[in-house]
Structure 1
Amino acid sequence: MTLGSQIAWDDTVLPFTLDASDIRGRVARLDGVLDAVLKQHDYPPVIEALVAEMALLTALIGQTMKLEWKLSLQVRSSGAARLIATDYYGPTEDGEPARMRAYAGYDADLLDAGADPFSQVGDGYFAILIDQGSGMAPYQGITPLTGSSLSACAETYFAQSEQIPTRFSLSFGLNQNAGQGARWRAGGVMLQHMPKASPFASGEGGSGEGGLLAAEDILTDDEGENWRRANLLLDTVDDLELIGPSVAPTDLLVRLFHEEAPRVYDAQPITFGCTCSADRVRQSLSIYSAKDIGTMTTDEGIVTADCQFCGAHYEFQPDTLGFEAEKTDGDA
């Protein structure tokens, strides 16, 4: 593969279907966008790994978002990794890139820097939120944290909340290229069985952890055979095929699934993007009274706000904030 073709596949999500198996999927490669997400912060490597995995999941899941829709993934837990949050913004126009950002909150006193990243996630929940735009009620689905990875939590979410069998195979880590500094790189494949017209429903628990539904609880015998075959083929993928520069996603799909009749569609580019602005901060503070705003005012007589996603810093005059704000321009 030439350098030009390598760059063309970085920071993209390639959707595909396996026509012989009634399965759809996506292949994602994140390089510059992941580096841009992580360089906004100074996370310990164990937290960076969790953010990298969550960003990769977000890219794979978010590719289905319609124009101007927003997808958010959240993990909240009792462990050292308290919060991992990502946002995926669908393109504003056809042909434009999607935008993504991510943030993590953690307790440094509880963090074990040498441990497996997922061990820093305790009890809690995995959530997906979809904002369909003005005039539409947002959708939210929540499942408990299960398994041994964030991808396992996402698989449980789709089985339990959406009743769609889903599988992720992910790879991510620091990459060192000749003459360049170390940077994070990630790649992965997502498989989903096509949704049924009538969702599975049962008063009994599933076979997953804690009685939650798993893929085998949802599929019929014939569907299950196709699903197991596709998963066995995906099991043969290695890390270099997922994140290395020498295998294009199209070649990977042929290598893995040539007997399943893979069909690819237009790739979706992704870039780092944050939607914070002074107006958005002002709007978020519009619910507070002048007395409340006073408690937020610094000794220097200003109100400050920092974006957790991109680090942008905003300063305001307190009398211009809240529902009692004066109609003057006083932002610093």
Structure 2
Amino acid sequence: MTENLLSTMGLDRPETGDDAVVPFTLDKLDTRGRVVRLGASLDTILSRHDYPTPVARLLGEAVVLAAMIGSSLKFEGRFILQTQTDGPVNLIVVDFDAPDGMRGYARFDRDAVVKAAEEGRISPAELLGKGHLAMTIDQGAHMERYQGIVALEGNTLEEVAHTYFMQSEQIPTQVRIAVAQMTTRGDHRPRWRAGGMLIQHLPENGISVMPDLPGDGDFDNPDMVDPDYVEADGWSEARALLGTVDDLELADPDISPERLMFRLFHETGVRVFPPQPLEERCTCSVDRIEDMLANSFSDEEREDMAVDGEIEVVCEFCSTAYRFNPHQFQVKN
């Protein structure tokens, strides 16, 4: 069946496995998209910290979302997804270091999360509370940053992403994300893995008209749609097909991205492009932290940081501990 599938899709390569993003287009539906599949990379990010399961799952969804968006960057830079809220999980930060590096971190109130779990309040909306989602594109020191911010309104990060693209990008977008723990034969513990698919409608013929101003329309609420907006038949079909995907299909290691796309879009036709590998990679380093301590703090402040004659800095993302002598910086001032 694999050879038949590859032949049907016009592929001359093996099916893609974990830790990769696969771009595709649905030419007949004026739609483009990306499928992300994360295995060991996500398990590393989520297993480094003692996250309660609901927190780990929420951070995993944020990592998938960041990977789907950040992997589209056409230059070396960073895509940063960040939530700041008043809920039990009050901060999530995911860095996507283009073209292929990911790291993520969640800050949470353990007691509040435990209480919420006991009361069954573990949906993303209940864990995050009120606040905002910021998506930032950093093109480097000599380029201006671009940032879009939306309120965290919706029950899932999928819904928040739809609002972001509607308001900040004005591109019809649909997102599906699934995060799961799975155990394989002979493994001593369940491993985190995830999958996601993002599709966007980009008609060349101008069939679809977006609202004139950010926030003028809501594509999931017919009562709030701008009267000038017309949803093209192709986009309606693409959204409907994506809506048939279940969580198991997105995260199942036995269903490759190509096989998933074939299941969904074989009747309309799908053009698949080469996969882009993804990896867990932290950008912290001795030199970066040393420069931060030397340039951001005074001698007195560094002395106050020292415990037993050492300054210890622990990376929140990868938990690597760096130790410095507070007196080593005095020569540099």
Give the structure-2-normalised TM-score. 0.86
Q: Could you say if the C-alpha distance between residues 262 and 208 of structure 1 is closer, same or farther in structure 2, counting changes exceeding 3 Å?
A: closer
- The verdict on how the C-alpha distance between 1:292 and 1:195 changes in structure 2, with shifts beyond 3 A counting, is farther
| Equivalent residue, structure 1, for 2:7 | none
The structure 1 residue matched to 2:260, chosen from 243, 252, 260, is 252
Q: CA deviation at 1:217?
A: 4.2
Match of 2:288 among 270, 280, 285: 280
Pick the aligned partner of 1:57 from 53, 58, 65: 65
Residues 264-305 of structure 1: per-residue CA shift (max 9 Å, x gap): 11111101100101111122221222122222222x122110
Aligned mates of 1:204, 1:9 — CA distance in 2: 38
Aligned-pair distance for 1:218?
9.5
Question: Are 1:163 and 1:218, in contact at CA under 8 Å, matched by a contact in 2?
Answer: no
Asked if 1:304 corresponds to 2:304, the answer is no
Match of 2:134 in 1: 127
Once residues 165 and 87 of structure 2 are traced to their aligned partners in structure 1, the CA distance between those partners, rounded to angstroms, is 23
The secondary structure found in structure 2 opposite 1:9 is: coil
The 1:256–1:217 alpha-carbon spacing in structure 2 relative to 1, beyond 3 Å, is: farther
Equivalent residues of 2:180, 2:251 under 8 A apart: no
Post-superposition offset of 1:106: 0.3
**2:210–2:229 contact (8 Å) kept in structure 1:** no
Over aligned residues, Cα RMSD in angstroms? 2.7
The one of 151, 157, 168 equivalent to 1:144 is 151
Shift of 1:253: 1.4
1:289 equivalent in alignment to 2:289:
no
Alignment partner, residue 107 of structure 2: 105
1:116 aligns with 2:122: yes
Question: Contact 1:69 / 1:130 at 8 angstroms: preserved in 2?
Answer: yes
> How far is 1:171 from its partner?
1.5
Q: What is the one-letter code of the residue matched to 2:155?
A: S
Contact 1:49 1:117 (8 Å CA) reproduced:
no
Q: Once the 2 structures are TM-superposed, how far is the Cα of residue 239 of structure 1 from its aligned partner?
A: 2.5
Aligned to 1:94: none
Question: Does the aligned pair in 2 maintain the 1:47–1:117 contact within 8 Å?
Answer: no
Tell me which residue corresponds to 1:206.
217
Tell me the residue number matched to 1:21. 29
Letter in 2 for 1:201: D
Shift of 1:208: 6.9
Secondary structure class of the residue paired with 2:61: helix
CA–CA separation in structure 2 for the residues paired with 1:127 and 1:284: 24
SS across alignment from 2:160: helix
TM-score, scaled to structure 1: 0.86
Counterpart amino acid of residue 212 in structure 2: A
Describe how 1:226-241 pairs up with structure 2 within 5 A: 226-241=234-249
* Cα distance change of structure 1 residues 219 and 183 upon mapping to structure 2, 3 Å threshold: farther
Q: Which consecutive unaligned segments of at least 5 residues does structure 2 have?
A: 3-13
User: 1:37: how far off?
Assistant: 0.7
Match of 2:185 in 1: 178
- Partner residue in 2 for 1:87: 95
Distance 1:162 1:260 in 2: 27
Deviations 1:85-131 (A, max 9, x none): 1011113xxxxxx1101000001121123532412110000111111
**What's 1:70 paired with?**
78
The whole-number CA distance in structure 2 between the counterparts of 1:56 and 1:207 is: 23
1:42 aligned residue: 50
Residue 95 of structure 1 is matched in structure 2 by: none
SS of corresponding position for 1:259: coil
Paired AA for residue 103 in structure 1: Y
- After superposition, the C-alpha distances for 1:200-251 in whole angstroms (9 at most, x for unaligned) are 4248843479x9x98x549842x43322211111111123321213322112
SS for the counterpart of 2:184 is coil
